[in-house]
Structure formats: C-alpha cells, structure tokens
Amino acid sequence: MTNAAAGTLRRRPAQRRSLERVERMLDECALLLDEVGYEALTTKEVARRAEVPIGTFYQFFPDKQGLVRALALRNLDAFLDRMAARLGATQLRDWTDAVDLSIDEFVRMKRTTPGFGVVDFGEVLAAPGGPALPGTQRMLDAALENNVVVADRLRSLMIELLGAPGSDELARAFVVAVEAADAVLKLAFRVHPEGDSELIAECKRLVRRYLSAHLTE
C-alpha cells in the first residue's frame, strides 16, 4: 500500500491482513473497471470478489469514489516508482530526455495495467481515449486538478534525480506539458485501442521541444 493511497482511507490498515484486504479491493476494482466501467462498478461486487465483508469495505473506503481515488493515487505512485527506476538506469544528456521515458511508461501502463485505461491518475474515462466523466477532474486533491498534481510530483522527481530547475516558471511549464501530453495521448487512444504510434511520437516531439525551450531560457 503506497503512502499516498493509504492517506485516502478512512482507517489506515495496521495489520498485514488488513493491508492485504485493501490491496485486494483495489486490485478487484481495477479489474472491474476494465470489465464493466465506472458507472456499473459497485462496492458490493468489489467486496464480493475481494472476499471481504461489505462492512470491511466501508471501514476503509467511504464509497465507490473513495475507492477509485485510492486506485488513482496507487497508479500515480506506481508510475513515479517506475520512472525513478528507469531514470536511475539510463544515462541522459539533460533532464528533457526524460520526456520520452515518461510518455513510454504512461503508454505501457495504459496497455498493461488493469483499470488504467478507465482511471489512470484520477480522471474517470468513459473509454480509454475519453471523454471524462464530469466531476472527476479533482480526484487526487480536492483543491487541485489531477494534472496539476501529476505535474508537480513529476517535476519533483526530475529535480531530485536529474537536477531540473526548481523555478516557478518551470512549475508552470510542467503543468502545460502534462496538459498537452494528456490531450494528445487521449487522441492517440481514440484513434487506436493500443495508442496510435505516430500520434505518440508527435506527443514526444511536442513536449520535448516545449520543455527544451525552457531549458535554454
């Protein structure tokens, strides 16, 4: 259980058995999102498939949205952990070279991670390429849009591992870059269920050139 996802729970699991139950509920939630979508997802079915009493579900999650929010935070933590591992194993010329790695990892998770095509980092999609369901733009943080949270955590990773500048200007640039990448990648998955390769390449080119301009300023 990641620290971020644990922070969304009504009660933090203190014992290994409770931790395993929470993870099972998140796993089954992800699988059900692929099978039936968000609208048909029910807390009762998640509990049944995770083999926990429905009362146990409500000990940890307030409702379906709380469950999905915890899943989104777990997804974001997993993405950042994978990025940290890839960045640590790759020699880059400068921090903007991490753009390709970031987009490749996101696309890989879209293709292989259960539930990620419906709920990646909070926004609930009717289909892998959108549109998003109303009211899901602030699933990660009640005060901030999902992409702002993603941009801030990704920038923090780049500062920590690659020495990217910590300026306010770059913080704003990361938000723009994440918004742009999000839009183009949604288009790529609308065009093709596995993500259109040419549009993914265009996304990399767009974001790399934009952030490279900030590197040279």
From residue 184, alpha-carbon distances to 3, 136, 213 in Å are 30, 19, 19
Distance of CA 168 to the CA centre of its chain: 23
Residues lower than pLDDT 70 in the chain:
1-15, 216-217
Eight-state DSSP code of residue 13 = -
Task: Please give the backbone phi and psi of residue 132, each rounded to the nearest 5 degrees, phi first.
Answer: -85, 145
Output the pLDDT for position 4. Answer: 42
- Burial class of residue 93 (count of CB atoms within 10 Å of its CB; 0-12, 13-18, 19+): exposed
pTM, to two decimals: 0.90
pLDDT at position 163: 86
| Amino acid of residue 49 | R
Q: Are the CB atoms for 137 and 146 separated by under 8 Å?
A: yes
Q: Which of these CATH numbers, 3.10.105.10, 1.10.287.1040, 1.10.357.10, 2.60.120.10, describes 3-216?
A: 1.10.357.10
Listed by start position, the domains of the chain span: 3-216
What is the DSSP secondary-structure string of 164-198? Answer: ----HHHHHHHHHHHHHHHHHHHHHHHH-TT--HH
Q: Report d(CA 189, CA 149) in Å as an integer.
A: 22
Q: What is the pLDDT of residue 129?
A: 81
**pLDDT at res. 211:** 93
What are the Cα distances from residue 114, in Å, to 33, 128, 192, 194?
8, 12, 18, 14
Residues 6+ apart with CB under 8 A from 9: 22, 60, 61, 70
CB 211 within 8 A of CB 173: yes
Alpha-carbon torsion 75, 81, 83, 89, what sign?
negative
pLDDT of residue 16: 77
Burial class for 211, CB neighbours closer than 10 Å (0-12, 13-18, 19+): buried
Residue that the structure tokens 């609208």 belong to? 39
